[in-house]
Amino acid sequence: MTDIADNNIFHKIFQYKAVRFFLSAGVATLVDVVIYFITINYIFSHQRVKFLNLSASAHTFTLVISYSCGVIINFLLTKYAVFSESNVATKKQFFRFSLIAFLGFFANYGLLRFFVEILELYPTFSRIASALSLGIASYYVHKLFTFKVKE
């Protein structure tokens, strides 16, 4: 009897798009943060990164890598688990999602620099804080723009 009651509670909770959105974003953010942690600590060892003729701090270059992975995971989860009723073409959804993610990247980048370079906080913690601070606005932008339902 307890299993049925527990399943019923989860079923009711998962009916809300906002819950599914934040769970999807949470999974994508977890992927992002894990990739960020591994890359900055074990691949780049907190050293400046030289790529072609560019040089960047480890936390900046690592953010590009981890954020890109998180965006792809987030798009797939959000499209299929949250806004599956959207009748906007998938290519258009991905373009819109990527545009919002691109703008979000710079917001994340600014917050990450602020937390790491000004407040001197640990980079992985700073990455989590910057991601969480932009989550609520992201839900409404994707609901009203990226995955809107055409009448």
Sequence spans of domains, the chain: 2-146
Which residue from 61, 95, 62, 94 is spatially nearest to 80, judged by alpha carbons?
Answer: 94
Which H or E run includes 141?
Answer: helix 135-141
Structure pTM?
A: 0.73
Q: Which residues of 78-107 are buried (b: 16+ CB within 10 A; e: fewer)?
A: bbeebbeebebeeeebbebbbebbeebbee
Q: Cα 84 vs. chain centroid, distance in angstroms?
A: 18
Output the pLDDT for position 117: 92
| Mean pLDDT computed over 31-60 | 86
Q: 3-class SS at 73?
A: helix
pLDDT band, residue 2 (cuts 50/70/90): low
| Mean pLDDT computed over 9-19 | 82
Please give the Cα distance from 96 to 143 (Å, whole number). 11
Q: 3-class SS at 89?
A: coil
pLDDT in tens, 116-137: 999 999 988 888 888 788 887 8
Angle between helix axes 58-77 and 123-133 (nearest 10 degrees) is 40
pLDDT in tens, 51-82: 788 888 888 888 889 989 999 999 999 999 99
Q: Is the pLDDT of residue 1 over 70?
A: no
